[in-house]
């Protein structure tokens, strides 16, 4: 992207990254970079209404393109830059995950395991045969095994012939992935990388200690609720539940007999996830349509509608926790984030339903001086995508430097070989050659003397 002067002073070598969160209710573009202290600095946020996405999947391409353009323009104008490249998030009920083990046999026991060996192993995972219509989005290493030695986090530098790895593989529908790329491309943007949104949100709101102790991330979006389970610092389980904040709005609309806009406003302003925390006699008055009389809705009734649906969503979350096999190993409890986590009394309902500790995850865990707007859980995915983008640029730069160093060493070695003097016969070798010819001459003299006799 073309950099223009920005309001904040950026380091000379900083790389601007734009995270594009294509959600069901909103599309958010967030611009950021890593500062000198290793913290993520956010320059701007652009947000627009998501008109063409249903449950995380693009349903109307043209509307999605317009929403992307609107969010990108707002973010670009605020940061005073021209945005050309983005890190894109993907979600939706089509996302699935599986565990798989891969193996490569190395040619030499003497040579240490290199990055090329690890890359070959991961590339093999990308070539797995998937069911028709599905493709691999992520291959996430969990641990490596070298010659039956297990529990290796980083195999580089080890010796061994048989290199194996346990991988968490995330797949999605080919059509859904292509539609995301198509929308971004038609919005005149380049997709640098594609990331699963719950993994991006996890980077933004979870600490390393929580991932080590064992934690469940529950990202409640508009169309879906994403679940990611970490233990021992490794992603262990991912799942997408096809219910989110929008279905709660629909329940309020049907239960109270009002229009969807009013239902959304009621949810945001007065919504509570625990009916028992609200007064029975508290009432909200809603204007009637076209001169009709006002409608009065009990806050307690509103909370009962919300609580019923939230309990259903949490039952699905609990099912995924039990399915993962890590139910009794999650000392970090549950962290709830996303736009749907802003309901009052939600942590209390989560604790009552699951029996696990709970907190609301805001995306200021790794940010430098986050303002109030960024502390909103709805931006967790966007901030996480910026962090993923920064990691990618740093990783690519490191590999580029290593490749340049390897090429430089190769050139030096080649030049040294060319300039190397021809091999000379050593003193020891000279003596051997001389003794050989002396013996031949001695034998020749003996033959000649025999002939004379």
- The pLDDT tens digits of the residues spanning 161-212 come to 999 999 999 999 999 999 999 999 999 999 999 999 999 999 999 999 999 9
Question: DSSP state, 365?
Answer: S
Cα–Cα distance measured from residue 180 to residue 315, given in angstroms and rounded to the nearest whole number: 30
pLDDT for 411 beyond 60:
no
The region that residue 92 occupies, defined by phi over 0 for left and psi between -120 and 50 for alpha, beta otherwise, is left
Measured torsion, CA atoms of residues 400, 405, 406, 411, in degrees rounded to the nearest 10:
130
Gap between the Cα atoms of 278 and 270, Å rounded: 10
Question: Cα Rg for the chain, rounded, in angstroms?
Answer: 32
Domains along the sequence of the chain with CATH: 96-172 (3.30.1490.110), 208-361 (3.30.420.40)
Q: Are 360 and 349 in contact (CB under 8 A)?
A: no
Residues in the chain: 453
DSSP code at position 52:
S
pLDDT digits (tens, 9 = 90+) for 205-233: 999 999 999 999 999 999 999 999 999 99
Q: What residues does 74 pair with on adjacent strands?
A: none
Cβ atoms within 10 A of the Cβ of 126, count? 11
Give SS3 for 56. coil
| Residue 328: burial class (beta carbons within 10 Å; 0-12, 13-18, 19+) | exposed
Structure tokens at 169: 């593989």
Of 300, 298, 291, 222, nearest to 260 by C-alpha is 222
DSSP class of 328: G
pLDDT over 80 at 97, yes or no: yes
pTM over 0.85: no
- The answer to whether the CB of 344 falls within 8 A of the CB of 276 is no
């Amino acid at each position: 992207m073309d950099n223009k002067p920005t309001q904040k002073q950026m380091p000379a070598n900083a790389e601007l990254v734009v995270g594009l969160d294509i959600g069901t209710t909103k599309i958010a573009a967030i611009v950021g970079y890593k500062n000198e202290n290793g913290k993520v600095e956010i320059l701007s946020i652009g947000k627009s209404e998501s008109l063409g996405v249903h449950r995380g999947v693009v349903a109307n391409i043209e509307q999605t393109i317009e929403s992307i353009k609107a969010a990108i323009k707002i973010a670009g104008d605020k940061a005073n830059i021209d945005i050309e490249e983005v890190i894109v998030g993907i979600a939706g009920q089509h996302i699935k995950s599986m565990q798989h083990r891969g193996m490569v046999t190395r040619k030499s026991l003497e040579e240490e395991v290199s990055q090329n060996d690890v890359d070959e192993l991961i590339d093999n995972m990308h070539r797995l045969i998937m069911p028709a219509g599905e493709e691999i989005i992520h291959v996430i290493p969990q641990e490596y095994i070298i010659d039956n030695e297990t529990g290796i986090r980083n195999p580089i530098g080890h010796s061994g012939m048989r290199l194996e790895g346990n991988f968490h593989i995330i797949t999605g529908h080919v059509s859904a992935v292509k539609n995301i790329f198509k929308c971004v491309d038609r919005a005149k943007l380049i997709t640098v990388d594609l990331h699963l949104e719950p993994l991006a949100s996890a980077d933004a709101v979870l600490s390393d200690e929580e991932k080590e102790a064992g934690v469940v991330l529950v990202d409640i979006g508009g169309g879906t609720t994403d679940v990611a389970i970490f233990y021992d610092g490794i992603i262990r389980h991912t799942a997408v539940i096809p219910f989110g904040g929008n279905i709660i709005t629909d329940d309020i609309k049907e239960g109270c007999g009002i229009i969807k806009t009013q239902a959304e406003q009621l949810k945001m302003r007065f919504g509570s996830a625990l009916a028992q925390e609200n007064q029975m006699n508290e009432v909200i008055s809603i204007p009637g349509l076209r001169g009709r009389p006002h409608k009065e809705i009990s806050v307690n009734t509103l909370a009962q509608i919300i609580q019923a649906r939230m309990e259903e969503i949490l039952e699905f979350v609990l099912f995924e926790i039990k399915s993962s096999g890590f139910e009794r190993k999650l000392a970090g409890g549950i962290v709830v984030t996303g736009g749907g986590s802003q309901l009052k009394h939600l942590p209390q309902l989560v604790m009552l339903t699951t029996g696990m500790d709970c907190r609301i995850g805001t995306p200021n865990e790794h940010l430098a001086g986050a303002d109030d707007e960024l502390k909103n859980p709805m931006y967790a995915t966007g901030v996480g995508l910026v962090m993923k983008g920064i990691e990618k640029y740093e990783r690519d730069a490191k590999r580029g430097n290593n490749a340049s160093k390897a090429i430089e060493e190769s050139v030096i070695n080649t030049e040294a070989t060319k300039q190397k003097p021809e091999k000379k016969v050593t003193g020891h070798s000279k003596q051997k050659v001389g003794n050989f010819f002396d013996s031949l001459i001695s034998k020749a003299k003996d033959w000649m003397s025999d002939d004379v006799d």
